[in-house]
């Protein structure tokens, strides 16, 4: 099996009109990754070394997106939509390269399990010429039935053509199949369009192969794995299934999810064992969390690295480039972007740290902001080890706070501060006895006069 080569032909040319979107259907995302990319990943996990994407609607956008998740994939345009077999044959140039196995898949089945594809390939290795992947939906109405006899698949019968007895069959066609590369083009070329729609149906190769004395069998995938997406409601259903799977995997790997149904992962989220995740946490793409971290409720994290024993949130936002080192703390209502928070440093509350380094053991007081943007360019703030930044301070970049530097609360710092220095950047306080009472009386009198003039004084 490991020596057999495999091509995955992924059909992704559908317009997806029921999605009611300008975006090609297969580019709609599950867990932050286009549906078709999930299919590619499953094919690769099953050993496919080649990927052929058959595209149509939004071809330019498809190519641009595919270059990100499948840079080695070949793309083929199906100019006219004349059926599934016609779509597969659009990839003739790839199929003719002589792969041992050819997997035919659909770009709108993002939950397909790599194991189901591997089983189909194993049946090819055992001598089958065609392997159809079937499933057992809760309600088979509307699906083509798989007709088996003596352990062989003899036909795929559309429901409208089924007899009363055949309609009772619960084993249905999932659409995906594996075909022996040695027979693929010969079988595809034998498909004709002598039917009511004048289209070339991939399912016809089952009977064509049987008539040629070739073995045709069916394997079974779970209903969830075969779920096709046609509209936004089904997209949401698939997202829920994917999230449920991923949460289960995380918990089995040693991650504590206090309220699993409220935590949302991205396709590439990595969470270390002994991490505790509180309710309502959202992970965007590019997040890595090491062991022993704690992510408090209502935190939003993307493009961030969180080291061992860090403490994040509640209500924290970590944006791309946030890099928290061991035992760092980013507390409630804080935002960190493109910044390193070094070991043991604390960014406790109501703070923005962007384009910066916070040195080991430093303490950032409430309401501190790094003023990193002048409307045109970004600038860097460097905060040294053990520095103390008083509450409500503004650090106007580019600026450096030396190791052990101390910034008085309420300061606006525009010049660098040496190691161990104390810096004030605020106006001197002035106190005028009795002035507060005078102001209150003046304001009260003015407010009363305004009400009287408006006729609202009762």
Which CATH number do you get for residue 56?
A: 3.90.550.10
Q: Which residues are catalytic?
A: 349
Decide the pairing of beta strands 145-149 and 152-157.
antiparallel
Residue-range definition of the domain harbouring residue 106: 6-220
Beta partners for 282?
Answer: 264, 300
Q: Residues 150, 246: one domain?
A: no
Q: Residues 345, 409: one domain?
A: yes
Q: Residues 146, 96: one domain?
A: yes
Q: Which of 15, 32, 10 is nearest to 231 (CA)?
A: 15
Which of 185, 220, 255 is the last residue before a domain boundary? 220
**249 domain-assigned:** yes
CATH of the domain at 407: 2.160.10.10
Q: Residues 191, 322: one domain?
A: no
**276 domain-assigned:** yes
**434 domain-assigned:** no
Across 131-146, b (16+ Cβ under 10 Å) vs e yields bbbbbbeeebeebbbb
Q: What integer pLDDT is reported at residue 172 of this predicted model?
A: 95
**453 domain-assigned:** no
Beta partners for 74?
Answer: 52
Task: Give the Cα separation of 234 and 248 in Å (integer).
Answer: 21
Task: Give the Cα separation of 119 and 117 in Å (integer).
Answer: 5
3-state secondary structure of 434: coil
Cβ neighbours, 10 Å, residue 363: 18
Tokens of 446: 């003015």
Q: Residues 328, 348: one domain?
A: yes
Enumerate helices (H) and strands (E) in the chain, giving the number of each: 10, 35
Task: Give the Cα separation of 280 and 389 in Å (integer).
Answer: 31
CA distances for 319 relative to 262, 339, 342, 349, angstroms: 20, 9, 16, 16
Q: Residues 257, 128: one domain?
A: no
Cβ atoms of 320 and 339 closer than 8 Å:
no
Q: Residues 168, 300: one domain?
A: no
**128 domain-assigned:** yes
Q: Residues 153, 288: one domain?
A: no
Q: Residues 260, 200: one domain?
A: no
Cβ neighbours, 10 Å, residue 377: 8
Name, in order, each residue with C-beta under 8 angstroms of 424's C-beta and a sequence gap of 6 or more. 408, 411
Task: Work out how many domains the chain is built from and give that number.
Answer: 2
Which of 183, 200, 220 is the last residue before a domain boundary? 220
3-state secondary structure of 220: strand
**456 domain-assigned:** no
Task: Give residue for tokens 């961030």.
Answer: 304
CA distances for 208 relative to 121, 190, 273, 322, angstroms: 20, 7, 52, 58
- Tell me the whole-structure pTM to 2 decimals: 0.89
Helix (H) / strand (E) containing 329: strand 329-332
Cβ neighbours, 10 Å, residue 350: 18
Ordered per-residue pLDDT tens for the chain, 458 residues: 568 999 999 999 987 789 999 899 999 999 999 999 999 999 999 999 999 999 988 889 999 999 999 999 999 999 888 999 999 999 999 999 999 999 999 999 999 999 999 999 999 999 999 999 999 999 999 899 999 999 999 999 888 888 889 999 999 999 999 999 999 999 999 999 988 888 999 999 999 999 999 999 999 999 999 999 999 999 999 999 999 999 999 999 999 999 999 999 999 999 999 999 999 999 999 999 999 999 999 999 999 999 999 999 999 999 999 999 999 999 999 999 999 999 999 999 999 999 999 999 999 999 999 999 999 999 999 999 999 999 999 999 999 999 999 999 999 999 999 999 999 998 888 889 999 899 899 999 999 999 888 875 55
Q: Residues 173, 72: one domain?
A: yes
For helices 114-125 and 35-45, give the axis angle rounded to 10 degrees: 40
**272 domain-assigned:** yes
CA distances for 308 relative to 254, 268, 299, angstroms: 14, 19, 17
Q: Residues 292, 147: one domain?
A: no
Q: What integer pLDDT is reported at residue 454 of this predicted model?
A: 84
Q: Residues 108, 255: one domain?
A: no
Distance in Å from the first CA to the final CA of the chain: 92
**432 domain-assigned:** no
Which of 220, 247, 280 is the last residue before a domain boundary? 220
Task: Give the Cα separation of 443 and 147 in Å (integer).
Answer: 88
Task: Give the Cα separation of 382 and 358 in Å (integer).
Answer: 7
Name, in order, each residue with C-beta under 8 angstroms of 198's C-beta and a sequence gap of 6 or more. 82
Q: What are the DSSP E strand ranges found in 290-328?
A: 294-295, 300-301, 305-306, 311-312, 317-318, 323-324
Q: What integer pLDDT is reported at residue 180 of this predicted model?
A: 97
């Amino acid at each position: 099996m490991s020596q057999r080569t495999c091509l995955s032909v992924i059909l992704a040319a559908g317009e997806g009109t029921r999605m009611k979107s300008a975006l090609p259907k297969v580019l709609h995302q599950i867990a932050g990754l286009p549906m078709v990319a999930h299919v590619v990943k499953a094919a690769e996990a099953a050993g496919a070394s080649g990927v052929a994407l058959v595209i149509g609607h939004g071809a330019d956008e498809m190519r641009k997106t595919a270059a990100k998740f499948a840079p080695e994939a070949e793309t083929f345009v199906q100019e006219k939509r004349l059926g599934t077999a016609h779509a597969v044959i659009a990839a003739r140039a790839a199929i003719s390269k002589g792969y041992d196995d050819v997997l035919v898949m659909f770009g709108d089945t993002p939950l397909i399990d790599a194991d189901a594809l591997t089983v189909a390939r194993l049946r090819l290795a055992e001598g089958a010429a065609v392997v159809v992947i079937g499933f057992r939906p809760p309600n088979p109405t509307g699906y083509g039935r798989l007709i088996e006899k003596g352990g062989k698949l003899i036909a795929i019968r559309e429901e409208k053509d089924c007899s009363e007895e055949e309609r009772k069959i619960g084993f249905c066609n999932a659409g995906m199949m594996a075909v022996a590369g040695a027979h693929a083009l010969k079988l595809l070329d034998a498909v004709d369009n002598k039917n009511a729609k004048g289209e070339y149906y991939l399912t016809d190769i089952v009977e064509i192969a049987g008539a040629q004395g070739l073995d045709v069998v069916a394997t079974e995938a779970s209903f969830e794995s075969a779920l096709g997406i046609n509209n936004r409601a089904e997209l949401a259903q698939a997202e829920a299934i994917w999230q449920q799977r991923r949460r289960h995997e995380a918990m089995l790997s040693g991650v504590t999810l206090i309220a699993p149904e409220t935590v949302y992962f991205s396709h590439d989220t990595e969470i270390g064992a002994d991490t505790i995740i509180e309710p309502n946490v959202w992970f965007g793409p590019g997040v890595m969390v090491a062991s022993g971290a704690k992510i408090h409720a209502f935190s939003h994290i993307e493009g961030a690295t969180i080291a061992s024993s860090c403490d994040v949130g509640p209500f924290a936002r970590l944006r791309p480039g946030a890099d928290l080192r061991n035992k760092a703390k980013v507390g409630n209502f804080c935002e960190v972007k493109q910044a390193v928070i070094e070991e043991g440093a604390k960014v406790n509350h109501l703070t923005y740290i962007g384009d910066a380094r916070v040195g080991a053991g430093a303490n950032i007081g409430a309401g501190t902001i790094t003023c990193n943007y002048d409307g045109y360019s970004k600038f860097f703030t460097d905060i040294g080890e053990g520095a103390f930044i008083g509450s409500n301070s503004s650090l106007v970049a580019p600026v450096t706070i030396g190791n052990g530097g101390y910034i008085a609360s309420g300061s606006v710092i525009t010049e660098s501060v040496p190691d161990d220095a104390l810096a004030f950047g605020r106006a001197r306080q002035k106190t005028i006895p009795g002035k507060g009472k005078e102001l209150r009386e003046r304001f009260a009198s003015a407010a009363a006069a305004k009400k009287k003039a408006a006729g609202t004084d009762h």
